[in-house]
Amino acid sequence: MNISKSGEITIKGISGSPGICIGKAYIVDREGVNITKRYPVSGDRVQKEIDRFKQAVSKAKNDHAQIIESLDEDLIENLNILETHMVLFKDKMLYGRTIDTISNEKINAEWALRKVSRKVKIMFQQIDDQYLQDRVNDIVQVSDKIMSNLVGAQDIKISDINKRVILVAHDLSPADASQIQLERIKGFVTDRGGKDSHTSIVAKSLKIPSVLGLGTATVRVKNNDILIVDGSSGTLIINPEEDTLFKYEDRLARFEEYRADIERDSHLPAVTKDGVSLNLMANIELVEEVVAAKDYGATDIGLFRTEFLYLDLKRFPTEDELLCKYKELVELMSPQSVTIRTLDINGDKVNPYLTTIEEANPSLGMRAVRFCLENQDVFITQLKAIFRAAAFGNIKLLIPMISCVEEIIQVKQVIDKAILELEQEDKIFNKDIPLGIMIEVPSAAILAEHLADHVDFFSIGTNDLIQYSMAIDRRNRRVAHLYQALNPAVLRLIKMTYDAAKKKKIDLVMCGEMAGDPVNIPVLVGIGLTEFSMNPASIPVVKKLIRDLDTKKVKKNVNKIMKLNRTQEIYDFILKEYKDVLPFRDTDE
């Protein structure tokens, strides 16, 4: 946080949705209800306490249903997000465990809900997948709604706000965001939230600027303060100086011009100026996200995360339950391909229904393929469902976190077992599907040429590759600055992987967040990559950049970039060389 002599305050947060807005602050008191009192409930009153909890859930659910029914046509695409919250109101992790806690511990409903929601929150935060970590917000938001009803707190109706303002809140749920009237609300900022949160997704669909994860916005901002919300860079400026206002008014005009340009040409293909065609795919987690992926122009699903169903149950899903989801997905995408990544969770932290040993560092422990090889019955069940779904569409199988040749050999042995079981059970399936591995561990990049002998394609997972290469925890704010996609070491590992894939003549895709940031694209295309999978909303912007690139120039520039040894040097070089084609960026340069 920076404070100027004139009192201008600048706070950095997380970009929720791009754009700039300038206006007066409107504080939404969404702090949540703090429950500090725990009291016992006598045996004869336990059922009444459970009924009180159920009534609070029912009221919250009914209120949520009314919001869904009142959705404008422009927000129908977010229906699946709001319906996810509807399911969470009766989710076993939250609803079932709270009732069990009231009954078993004989305590008040408020304290039981608080205890359960905290446990679930910790469980999600320990998953080493940023997208799934951001689902914590969904749990917290649903819990807050129920808690408000339990204590009789007054709810806020954002739809009733009749001023032209910028919302400032501790947190906003997707349901809150969906009530925003575009003619009144210019944008919003929150203390909580993350880049891939459902609230961020709704904000992007509304096309209003938002900054999340500010931490102290509700403390620093007062009603009617003048605010500048820079959603592109994740910056909030409170009571800006006159020069700052002029500067941002100019940026706002340029951003609106840029956005109109993007939307006008979003249907055009991803082909470079010299005729090289690139393939842009989508990363998704829910089947319902297929609609958005297609709307944004994704050619295929380059990464389907399969963890959500496992996290949503108190048991492992059955083969038929998994088949139902996968079959629906591939049929919706047919004839385009769907790359299904096998289970990437850490057993002892995520699955309370599995007895395992506590680990000091789950990110480096029994997660992803290691967990699956240790629990082959779980792995075989998922593999069988994937092969069966492949009879109905175009599927590719992707194995996460392979770190050595021995692991992929073991995986192929388990695949053979799964196929044998399907044959013995006389089930309809397709075993002839491409097999790929994620290159997200430095050892895999180093061994890429040898690993290529065992698979049909590589998929570079830059989120973990950067984290493990730099030996940092992405969630640790004190070292987060070291998480740099353009670090020379990371670029060398990517180049090493590309060279191995090219030599062995196998396909190569990049599916990490690095692929969705336009500033990285000239380097990646220069290295030789032609297939990228990203957040669906990033596709139109990346498409436009690709259409402005000349592959001969980017390849020549990459030779220069690979000789640089500092991240900032590389970043500055890109900004200088591609300043005329990079998307609108909020910088002072």
The catalytic site residues sit at 198, 511
411: CB partners within 8 A, 6+ apart: 369, 372, 373, 399, 402
| DSSP conformational letter for 165 | E
Distance (Å, whole) CA 167 – CA 185: 7
159's tokens: 């739809």
SS3 state at 10: strand
State the DSSP string of 285-317: SSGGGHHHHHHTT-SSEEEE--HHHHHTSSSPP
Q: Which of 468, 138, 122 is nearest to 286 (CA)?
A: 138
SS3 state at 549: coil
C-beta of residue 541 within 8 angstroms of C-beta of residue 515: no
Distance (Å, whole) CA 440 – CA 511: 10
Give me the sheet containing 9-12, strands edge to edge: 2-3, 9-12, 235-238, 226-230, 20-28, 165-169, 185-190, 210-212, 14-17
For residue 208, the Cα-to-chain-centroid distance in whole angstroms is 19
Distance (Å, whole) CA 218 – CA 356: 41
Residues β-bridged to residue 533: 281
H or E element, residue 117: helix 109-125
Distance (Å, whole) CA 190 – CA 302: 31
Pairing type for strands 226-230 and 20-28 reads antiparallel
545's tokens: 């950049």
What are the CA-CA distances from residue 457 to residues 143, 306, 417, 460 (Å)? 42, 19, 22, 10
413's tokens: 């042995």
Q: Which of 467, 538, 486 is nearest to 129 (CA)?
A: 467
Write phi, then psi, for 36 (nearest 5 degrees): -110, -10
Residues β-bridged to residue 394: 337
40's tokens: 């016992």
Distance (Å, whole) CA 148 – CA 292: 33
Distance (Å, whole) CA 414 – CA 187: 51
